[in-house]
Structure formats: structure tokens, C-alpha cells
Amino acid sequence: MGALYDKLMQDVRFVEGLKACINCGTCTAICPAASFYRYDPRSVTDIVQTRDEAAIEALLKGEEIWYCGECMSCKTRCPRGNTPGLIICALRSLSQDLGYFTESEKGRQQLAVKRTVGQWILDHGYCLYLEGVGTDLHPEQGSVWDWIQQNWHAVFERMGANYQGEGPGILRKIPEETLDEIRKIFEVSGGMDRFSSIEKHSEMKAREMGLAFDGTNDCEYFSHVYKTNKKDHQQ
Amino acid sequence: MKKEGKEQLWKDYQKEIADDRYFYVRSCVRQNFFPGSETAFLKILQEELGKDVYEHPCHTTCTGIGYHADVVPFDTAMTVVARQFAIMTESGYHNLVPSCITSFGLYTEILETWKHFPEVEARVREYLYKATKRDFRVPENLAHASDVIYKFRSEIAAKGKFRLVHHETGRPLKVVEHIGCHYAKMFPDKGVGGAEYPYVLTGMIEEWGGEVVDYPERRHCCGFGFRQYLVQANRGYSMSCSHKKFESMEPYAPDLILTNCPGCPMFLDRWQYAISEMEGKTYGGDGQGIPVFTYEELAGLVLGYNPWDLGLQMHQVACEPVLDKMGIPYDAAAKYLDKHGHSLGQPLQPQKLKV
């Protein structure tokens, strides 16, 4: 067997996700991503099933594995117990660990996810920390979100929240000792390594692309990966 | 078919839901977008039903959004979840109730993984001990917060002041339900009704007097797609999924949409606004949208709670048409007041969507 396939087999999600694909295409028929993007979970599953190292490497460096929305509708419908969505999870993890994710436009976006959701987890203990995240970045949130942002503390007090307060409650301040535990968990279980890999390879790619790169979300490379859409991804 | 055989068949579509002593873990999305729903859930459970619900101040995110956006490795997500189990164990509780479908799906995925790969559980226990010196027992019962409301839907109806019927005509309100992909698509036997006959929301709607609308794209994803919404360049994916659902449900003229997952109501609410701005298209009557509710909000309305205590003013699509149909009195002038009765101004009017 090949090195990449062996690495995938070390991920229990790959082991669970790939049984024996009969290429029926039911997963593609049910897949929301396949109705929007040039995405075919049937062919992704078939490629990894062939154990063709070159083809697997092309997947890891390509756009297609980043199209899935991980809704896992494919899990319900596969007549042979495969889960292409879990295969995607394993492919994306390996792509980031090997630094291949920066070879694709969609893969490069991982820096933006890491620096928003990933950083909010480490800094605040929540996946979302939205005070100050306005309709400039999220115009779809509408005028009601502008109103909420303008009156953040008063609105959350009205809702019975304990915003940034001690003790339990909605959007309470997560104690520093708890955040230390979460950061330690990230250190011992590979979370920090994943974050470092995303930063390191993104910086290398930024240099290669001639885009300014620093640790902020205002830098040229962040803005580029967050907003760039070549518009050749759709069906 | 004999009755016994039929009963056995349907057992596959039922789940055990603990009836008291819940360890409650909050949702990152629900806290930010629908905080009144979590307040209402605790009020219903503790004050209306007299249940023991405990929230530990040191619980955190499960990392589910980061996990499904693939920046958080599976081992890390499992260890953070193991920490939640640890503080539940230390607190003397056994029944875990997450407020989020992404969390519920992740907890379920982890527990199933540990059943099939005990060496993974052993590794996670080592990580957790190394990082925190904590140990844990797995939950005896895992139920999403909506499962608990479903379980007590009759008690809520009995205490209710309003029903899902038009108060003037007696017509049952037509309700579109959306259960959220990670509730039962991954592990069908962990959801009420499974993936084929999801009943968790339908049970509430029927018990509270409404009529469930079936439509072609009923089970299609709302379009969160994690990285597909989080990154601006990808949001067309998210919007197109919701758009597909709106177009599919529109001919059935639903009075409201009822949701299970905390993210789905936000997307189904906000994408109606965005579509109206971009295309001039609205899906409710008379230029309005189709109001979208969480199950806690709907239970609260049935029980007669103040709509503004439930947080309906945080929706972009106006909810008043449903209040009017149900005959629920409300003070329109109080919609945008703070806790102390002071005005907070009000949101600007959208260009197309009537609110």
C-alpha cells in the first residue's frame, strides 16, 4: 500500500467511512454540495478506494475535497454503509497536516477559519464570539443584526444572559483556569499542531503569492483567502 | 401484520429520553442568535415542569463548529467533549442535554466511535488526564434539548394558553418543520423517528394543534455547511440551499417554519432577508417572510410567555403574523425596549421585506 493511503487508514473516520463503494452515485444524488459545486462524492470515494497514490495526492492538493458541507446526508443513504463525508474529514485533516491545503483556493481558506473560530475557542471558550462582528463581513445578517450589535449588552441583558459575567448563564465569561485546560487539551491532542501547520504553510504560500502576511485578520493574505472566488467552482 | 410485530418495528424509531436530572450544555450559536430560547428552555423545565437541570459554569464549547470546519482535529474535539463528561461526572449527573444539534451529533459520533474503537477512548482518557487530571464516565442518557421538550409536549399543551390554530377560524396553522442534518442523518437510531420518520418536531406541532406540511425538499440541508458559511467566498452555497427549500415550500403557503438546530433558524431567517434584498422575492404573504421559530420559542408562545422575553425581536423576519393568527396579545411598543423599559431605537426597515 502507499504512504498516503496508509496515513488515511490511521484515521478512524476513514476506516468507518470507506467500506466498499459500488459506484451507484446515490451519495451524489442526495448531496447538497454536488447540486452547487463541481463536486462528486461518488468519485472521491472511488478514487480513495483504488488506493492510487497519485490520484489521492491530487485530491489532497485540489479544490474538490473542500466543497463538502459535512451535512452527512450521504451517511443515511449509502446502500453499502460508506460515508463519503467522513472520508472528506480524513482527507482534509491529512491535507492540512501535510501542508497540501494551500495548493487550492478553497483549501487556503482554512487560515480564515483557524483565525476566527479556532482563535475564539482558545481565547473565549466558544466557537462563536460575535460582539463586534458586524454586517460589513456579514451583510446577510440584516438591519436587525446592526441593531443587536449597537445595543449588544442591553439586548443580551433583556434576554436573561450573563454576558461576560461570573458563574453560569448565556455567554458567561469562561474562567481563565478553564481556558487553560482547553489550551492544554489542544497542546496534548494535536490541536495546536494543526493550528501551527495552518499558519506555517499559509505564510509560505503568502510569500510565494507575493501577498503581505502577518498575524492579524487585516493582512492582505487573510483578506484574499476569505473573499477570493474565482467563480469556476460551480456546476 | 400482528400488532406485536408492528410495535416491535416501530421501536427502532423510538429513543429513551431521561425524565429528570439533566446536565445542560449550551450552544455557541443559540447563545449568540437566540439567547431567549435557552432562557425559555430552563424556565419551562425548572419552573413549569419542576425538573432538576444543572448548568456548570466551567463547561465550554464542544468545538463542533471548528471540528466540522476541519481546523480542530478529531482527537482534540473528543478530549474537549471528554472534559464536558468529566465535569458532568464530578457534578453527580448522568443525563447529558446539549442545546445544539452539532454538539448532539458530535457527542453521538464520539460515543459510537468509542464503542467500535475502544483504543481511541483509552487514548482520549490519557489526553484528558495529562491536560486536566480529570476522569469521566460516559453519559447514561444523551438527549437533545428538543427531545426533552418533545417528551413533555403533552404537559406543555395541558398548561398552554394558546394553540397552533387560527384563533378566529379554528384552522390549524400549517407548519414546516426542519430537524437539522446532524440530529438523525448520521445515527438514525439516536433521534426520535430516525432519519426516515423524524418525529421530534412533528410530535410537538401535532400536540399543540398545528398541521405539519410535507414538501419535496423537507429534508434538504439549511446550507450551513460550516466552512461554506464561515468563509465569505463560499456563502453562495449556504444561500442556495435555503433558497431551494423556500422555493419548494412556497406553494404550500406555510404559516411558519419550526426548527431543531440553533443554526438552521438563523439561516432560514436571514437568507429570506438576503434573497429579498438581492432578488426582491419574499415567501410569506403580502411582502412578508415566513416566520421562523426555535422549538423553545414556540413552546414559550404556547405557554403564554411574552414574545419579547422569548427574543422574537432578534429575528429579521417579523414573527407578528403568527402571534396575530394564534390570538396572542403583545405590546408592539415594547418590542425594542431594554430590560428597564428604555428605548433601544429600532432596526432600519429592509428595502423589500416587510417587517
Residues of chain B found within 8 Å of residue A139, distances taken between Cβ atoms? 274
* CATH number of the domain to which B59 belongs: 1.20.1050.140
Domains of chain A: 3-100 (1.10.1060.10), 107-227 (no CATH)
On whether residue B255 sits in a domain, the answer given is yes
Instruction: Enumerate helices (H) and strands (E) in chain A, giving the number of each.
Output: 15, 0
Q: Dump pLDDT digits (tens) for B102-113.
A: 999 999 999 999
Q: Could you tell me if residue B285 is inside a domain?
A: yes
pLDDT at residue A232, rounded to an integer: 85
- Residue A150, number of CB atoms within 10 A of its CB: 13
Is B175 in the same domain as B322? yes
C-alpha cell at B332: 408592539
* Domain membership flag for residue B10: no
Measured CA to CA, the distance from residue A41 to residue A24 in angstroms comes to: 11
Angle at the Cα of B63 from the Cα atoms of B59 and B69, rounded to 5 degrees? 165
Do B99 and B44 lie in one domain? The reply is yes
Confidence of residue B5 (pLDDT cuts 50, 70, 90): confident
Across A186-201, average pLDDT: 98
Residues A175 and A185: their CA atoms lie apart, in Å, by 16
User: What local confidence, expressed as pLDDT, does residue A1 receive?
Assistant: 57
Q: What is the mean pLDDT of residues A190-213?
A: 98
Q: What is the pTM of this model?
A: 0.97
| pLDDT at position A216 | 96
Average pLDDT value for chain B? 97
| pLDDT at A199 (0 to 100) | 98
- Among chain B residues, the shortest Cα distance to A148 is held by B314
Contact B317, B289 (CB under 8 A): yes
ipTM: 0.98
Q: Are strands B22-25 and B95-98 parallel, antiparallel or unpaired?
A: parallel
Decide which of B114, B145, B176 is a domain's last residue: B145
pLDDT band with cut points at 50, 70 and 90 for residue B1: low
pLDDT of residue B8: 79
How many Cβ pairs within 8 Å bridge chains A and B? 263
Minimal Cβ distance to A191: which of B60, B72, B220? B72
Looking at the fold, whether B126 and B245 belong to one and the same domain comes out as: no
- Find the Cα–Cα–Cα–Cα dihedral B53, B195, A34, A199, rounded to 10°: 30
Q: Is B73 on the interface with A (CB under 8 A)?
A: yes
Average pLDDT for residues B257-267, to the nearest whole number? 98
CB < 8 Å from A in window 2-31 of B: 26, 28-29, 31
For residue B252, give the C-alpha cell: 404550500
Kindly state whether residues B123 and B262 are assigned to the same domain: no
Above 60 in pLDDT, residue B168?
Answer: yes
Q: Given the C-alpha cell 390549524, which residue does it identify?
A: B172
- Residue B43 lies in domain: 22-145
Q: How far apart are CA B126 and CA B12, in angstroms?
A: 35
Whether B89 and B185 map to the same domain: the answer is: no
pLDDT of residue A2: 79
Residue B283 lies in a domain: yes
Condensed to tens digits (0 to 9), the pLDDT of residues B212-253 reads 999 999 999 999 999 999 999 999 999 999 999 999 999 999
- Closest residue to B316, CB basis, from A70, A142, A185: A142
| Residue of B38, B24, B303, B257 whose CA lies nearest to B152 | B303
* Tens-digit pLDDT profile for residues A38-66: 999 999 999 999 999 999 999 999 999 99
In a domain, residue B180? The reply is yes
Spatial CA neighbour of A171 closest among B59, B220, B347: B59
Q: pLDDT of B80-97, one tens digit each?
A: 999 999 999 999 999 999
Residue B344 lies in a domain: no
pLDDT score of B11 = 78
Considering the domain architecture, whether residues B226 and B84 belong to the same structural domain is answered as: no
Residue B341: inside a domain: no
Boundary of a domain, candidates B145, B173, B201: B145
| Whether the Cβ atoms of residue B189 and residue A75 lie closer than 8 Å to each other | no
Q: For the residues A155-164, what does the mean pLDDT come to?
A: 98
Among A127, A137, A186, A221, pick the best mutation site for testing chain B contact (most B Cβ within 10 A).
A127
Q: Are residues B189 and B62 in the same domain?
A: no
Residue pLDDT, tens place only, A102-122: 999 999 999 999 999 999 999
Is residue A150 pLDDT above 70, yes or no? yes
Of B26, B58, B185, nearest to A73 by CB-CB distance is B185
* CATH number (domain holding residue B257): 3.40.50.11810
Same domain, B252 and B175: yes
- Residue B1, domain member (yes or no): no
Q: Are residues B129 and B234 in the same domain?
A: no
Touching check for B188 and chain A: CB below 8 Å? Answer: yes
pLDDT above 70 as % of chain A = 99
- Is B59 in the same domain as B192? no
Select from B79, B112, B145 the last residue of a domain. Answer: B145
Task: Specify the number of domains making up chain B.
Answer: 2
Give the model's pLDDT for residue B235. 97
Residue B214 phi/psi, 5-degree rounding, is -95, 140
Nearest-Cα residue of chain B relative to residue A228? B233
The answer on B207 and B79 residing in a single domain is no
Question: What pLDDT was estimated at residue B258?
Answer: 98
Per-residue confidence (pLDDT) for residue B6, from 0 to 100: 77
Question: How high does pLDDT run on average in chain A?
Answer: 97
B173 plus B302 within the same structural domain: yes
Chain B residues with CB inside 8 Å of A36's CB? Answer: 236-237, 240-241
Reported as a single tens digit per residue, the pLDDT across B269-326 is 999 999 999 999 999 989 999 999 999 999 999 999 999 999 999 999 999 999 999 9
- Taking only residues 133 to 162 of chain B, the set having a beta carbon closer than 8 angstroms to any beta carbon of chain A reads none
